[in-house]
Amino acid sequence: MKVDGGCLCGAITYEAVIDPEKIIVCHCTDCQINGGGAFRWGTLIAKEDFTLLSGDLKFYRKLAESGNHRALAFCGDCGTSLYGTQAEESVTLSLRIGTARQARELTPAFQMWHRSSYDWVDHLDSVPSVERQPNL
């Protein structure tokens, strides 16, 4: 499946080919902090299946629990996280699906690092909600 997307400010745009059956939610603490959310969702693709159409990505190098270094690609202007990849020799990209225009057509198939998930994540449907910005 072909997807396209970009960062919040619009400087970065891309196209990619993904397998819609292989969308993964990651509850690891690095994803929680780096993404600024409760979890991140993405999919693993071959590097060749990602095409940067505009903008210049910046990279943050992190040490993963495996002992390997990862390079986290983001927009230097708005900070949107686009993907993570091997720091030394990039082979696969973990594309951040939330940046894809087709994200609403996709559903996760698997969750990982669930041991560090927030307790309420599995019960979010029981939390009161409104359709738009509430009057707080």
Could you list the residues that contact Zn ion (CB under 5 A)?
7, 9, 11, 26, 28, 31, 75, 77-78
The β-bridge partners of 94 are 44, 84
Contacts for 129 with CB less than 8 Å, ≥ 6 apart: none
How many other CB atoms are found less than 10 A from the CB of residue 47?
Answer: 13
Residue nearer to Zn ion on the CB measure, 74 or 129: 74
Q: Give the integer Cα–Cα distance in Å for 51 and 15.
A: 5
Cβ at position 76, least distance to Zn ion in Å = 8
Residue nearer to Zn ion on the CB measure, 16 or 26: 26
Task: Identify which of 94, 50, 49 has the alpha carbon closest to the alpha carbon of residue 68.
Answer: 94
Residue nearer to Zn ion on the CB measure, 93 or 125: 93
Cβ at position 134, least distance to Zn ion in Å = 28
Cβ at position 37, least distance to Zn ion in Å = 11
